[in-house]
Structure 1
Amino acid sequence: MCAKIAELKKIRVGIVNYLNTKPLIYGLQKGPISEMIELTGAYPAKLAQMLIDGQVDVGLIPVAAIPLLPEYHIVGNHCIGAEGEIASVCLFSEVPMKEIRTVYLDYQSRSSVALLKWLMKESWGIHPEIIQADNESYRDKITGTTAGLVIGDRALEQRRVSTYIYDLGSEWRGITGLPFVFAAWVSTRPLDEEFIRVFDEANEEGISKIDEIVAGLHYETYDLQKYYKVHLSYNLDERKRDGMKRFLGVIGE
């Protein structure tokens, strides 16, 4: 670790405490970089607002929140993405899609909400009543012709009880042929290049330790090996950047 890193001012890093972020956070909690940053946890939509309000310097925020920032910089080369099926971002229902009359939107989400609205209008051709949920009780209302968007660990739980599951990652891929980026590391000001390099390396370390992470979680609701290695894709490569650009374009129309 070079002396330059040790001299950097602590960076406030906003994280999301979902299972899907564990590999990215793993390396940030270990080694010298853990002394360089302050970690703050929140759900995605709240974390985006914290970045907007200047409460964190860099955050793992929903891509849909990027246009709300006065200035933004993508930090590093990692993200929460999917090449297709994501498993933890789904519309859940007890009836087929065409019979859905009401949809509750997850209060924890921004990107998934924007993606779902676009899918309903541009692809599915359904126009249900939209209700913005403001607490967890909305999941109990997913019954009859009322559906609900659920993200994160709660979606993995919801998979066990809902009859119809519409995976938003799969739907996006089927329409555009592109992977989808749900969240990326974003700052509102340029960060030191050496910090970004070390930050990126810490992300990569966690991705390389997925077996160890899974072993320590003791999670039985869903197959985490499949979740981390098949559904989730963490490298922010050119294809994902193309997918992100496409998504920002469609929600800006």
Structure 2
Amino acid sequence: MTLMRVGHFKSIPWIPPYAAHDAWPVTFVDCVSSTVIDLLRQVDVTPMATVDWFPRQQDWCRLENHGLWIRERAGSVLLFSPWPIEQLGGKEIAISDETSTSVRVLHALLTGKYGLSLGTWRRGVVENDQHTPRLLIQNQAVHEIARRRFEYVYDLGHEWRKWQGVPLVPAVWVYRRGLSSDKTRFIADLLDSSLGEFSERTGVHIESHRHRNGWTASTQTVERLLRNFEYRMNVEAERGLEAMRSELPVVLPQLIK
């Protein structure tokens, strides 16, 4: 029997969906949010960055109410800067290679909320550079905030909610159109089981993922960060999804090197 191929994110916000990692009878395909679209032929079911799913809805369907949304603050979708955000007009910004959704959120915030003209943004972050503003997500953001190197740190989940009044939805779970209902139900049941398992043995699963993936953040830090996220979409999250569809650029107009 051929196992279903499931996109596997190793980053911190995704621990609950993969809590019972070793018990999943599937083939995991390791990826991050920015690489999923390059691996679509290799997966049957996967989390997908919201902005990547919008133009692919004809081929990829939502998996019930499974997704990832931010309650108030993400704690791991962060803009680091030596200057206040109001002074970033025309400045170069370094962008994490892992991000798809948050780079468009930052674009919308700077142009729509703050009315700034944008400079050139570049992919890739030089770790020792303490002068270039940078957008980091997930593990990279957690590591950078621990260094305390930048005077100004902006949480994009919080900035978005203050502006739009709805939560930010970084990703949704999707499956390839045409996948049988028994297979999609099977994966949805695995996700439900993992969420339940995680809630019962949170510390155990965080420790397991820390050791498996070599994370430096403490168990307490990770547990605190995970309280910022929800993994089942509700009415409020659906409103956030529609606001993103309306406000975020499909294609970034400024040059990203």
Match of 2:155 among 162, 167, 181: 167
Q: When the two structures are superposed, what TM-score results if normalisation uses the length of structure 1?
A: 0.84
1:234 to 213, 224, 231: 231
For residues 195 and 82 of structure 2, what CA distance do their matches in structure 1 show?
36
- Write out per-residue CA displacement over residues 80-131 of structure 1, whole angstroms, 9 at most, x where no aligned residue: 2111100100111112112332211222111001111011110022224132
Q: Residues 54-105 of structure 1, C-alpha deviation per residue, up to 9 Å, x if partnerless?
A: 2212221110101342522011322221111001001111121123322112
Q: Distance in 2 between matches of 1:252 and 1:152?
A: 22
Partner of 2:49: 62
Q: Does 1:19 align with 2:12?
A: yes
Task: Quote the residue 2:36 is aligned against.
Answer: 47
Question: How far apart are the structure 2 equivalents of 1:90 and 1:38?
Answer: 32
Q: 1:105 aligns with which of 95, 104, 111?
A: 95
2:74 corresponding residue in structure 1: 86
Q: Deviations over 1:27-66 (max 9, x none)?
A: 3531xxx22x211111211112212xx2212221110101
Deviates more, 1:232-241 or 1:87-96: 232-241
Matching residue of 1:195: 183
**Per-residue deviation, residues 186-216 of structure 1 (Å, max 9, x unmatched):** 2231332233233223222322323331243
Q: Which amino acid letter does the alignment assign opposite residue 220 of structure 1?
A: S
Kept in 1, the 8 Å contact 2:68–2:172? The answer is yes
Q: How far apart, in 2, do the equivalents of 1:222 and 1:125 lie?
A: 38
TM-score of the superposed pair, with normalisation by structure 2 = 0.83
Unaligned runs of 5+ residues in structure 2 are 212-216, 251-257
Shift of 1:159: 1.0
Mean Cα displacement is larger for which, 105-114 or 76-85? 76-85
Look up the match of 1:10: 3
Q: Does 1:150 align with 2:130?
A: no
RMSD: 2.2
| 1:248/1:177 CA distance change after superposition, 3 Å | same
SS in 1 for 2:169: strand
Conservation of the 8 A alpha-carbon contact between 2:111 and 2:118: no
Contact between 1:142 and 1:148, CA under 8 Å: does it hold in 2?
A: no
2:93 and 2:206 mapped to 1: Cα distance?
33
- Which of these residues, 217, 220, 224, is aligned with residue 218 of structure 2? 220
Partner Cα separation in structure 2 for residue 251 and residue 78 of structure 1: 21
Provide structure 1 residue ranges, at least 5 long, that are not aligned to the other structure: 1-6
Q: Which amino acid aligns with 1:183?
A: A
How far is the alpha carbon of 1:12 from its aligned partner?
A: 1.3
Q: Distance in 2 between matches of 1:223 and 1:136?
A: 23
Q: 1:140 aligns with which of 128, 135, 138?
A: 128
- Tell me the number of residue pairs that the alignment of Structure 1 and Structure 2 aligns: 235
**Kept after mapping to 2: 8 A contact 1:103/1:128:** no
Query: Any idea what SS the aligned residue of 2:244 has?
Result: helix
